[in-house]
Amino acid sequence: MGKDVELELAAPPDMGTEVIRVPEGSPLHLDVRLESASDGVYVSGRVTGELAGECVRCLEPLDAELQMDLAELYLYPSAVARAEEEGDEEAAEMLTTDGEALDLEPMVRDAIVLELPFQPLCRPDCPGLCPTCGIRMEDAEEGHSHEVIDPRFAALAGLFEQEGVGRDDAGTDGAAGDVDGADGTDGTDDADGTGNEQEPAP
């Protein structure tokens, strides 16, 4: 013998992760069946609602429909006590009922959080972001790419450039020195070393 129940709950906080979750306060619709069991009440059915988050590839917001199956046995206190006596270490964490009321939130939370995707995508073939400039590849021009230089070669190129500048500078200085000494205008060839011309002796 069982009983069908439909009800709506407001989603509690922290139902999900940073990238995918049920928005706090959003409606969760439960369509469940309650069946009596020897040790408690068996609850089965489905929960539906809305998911919100962001695509882990392109970081765009995403919305998705939530549909999860539910199945849980709520134990009577006597059944929990018996499990503890038998050494069941998980007995204290089992969902319980006094036969009068059921707290469905823990069951719904566990069912949703455990089934949420770790890496939600806006679509399976999402191209993501450009690893170089960060543009969304969906919006980029066809053939979008960047020249990639191996850091090791980039360092060598910088070294060669520095050596080339040094050689050019040295050559320029040497040329200036040759010109300076070629015309004797520095005064070192004057006879008296004063830079003045001497008249010939009578």
Smallest CA-to-CA distance from 109 within 178, 180, 162, 49 is with: 49
In this prediction, residue 181 carries a pLDDT of 47
Judge whether residue 55 has pLDDT over 90: yes
H helix or E strand, kind and range, residue 106: helix 105-115
- What are the backbone angles phi and psi of residue 87, rounded to the nearest 5°? 85, 20
Mean pLDDT over residues 169-193, rounded?
47
Please identify which residue in the block is written with the tokens 């204290």: 92
Give the pLDDT confidence score for residue 167 in this predicted structure: 47
Q: Which of 31-35, 65-69, 137-141, 196-200 has the lowest mean pLDDT?
A: 196-200
Mean pLDDT calculated for residue range 69-81: 89
User: Mean of the per-residue pLDDT values for the chain?
Assistant: 78
Q: Taking the domains of the chain in order of start, what are their residue ranges? A: 2-115, 147-183
Q: Residue 8 pLDDT more than 80?
A: yes
**Tokens, residue 54:** 């962001």
**pLDDT, mean of residues 57-64:** 92
| pLDDT tens per residue across span 77-109 | 888 888 888 877 777 778 888 777 889 999 999
The more confidently predicted of residues 164 and 116 is 116
Q: Is 132 exposed, middle or buried (0-12, 13-18, 19+ CB in 10 A)?
A: exposed
Predicted local distance difference test score (pLDDT) of residue 195: 47
Q: Cβ neighbours of residue 77 under 8 Å, at least 6 residues apart?
A: 96, 98
Q: Place 66 in a pLDDT band, splitting at 50, 70 and 90.
A: very high
Beta-strand pair 27-36/40-54: antiparallel
- Threshold 0.85, pTM exceeds: no
Cα–Cα distances in angstroms (integers) from residue 42 to residues 48, 111, 163, in the given order: 19, 15, 81
pLDDT for residue 197: 52
The string of pLDDT tens digits covering residues 130-179 is 877 877 776 776 778 777 766 666 666 666 666 655 444 544 454 444 44
The residue to which tokens 């407001």 are assigned: 10
Average confidence (pLDDT) over 60-83: 90
For residues 52 and 21, the answer to whether their CB atoms sit within 8 Å is: yes
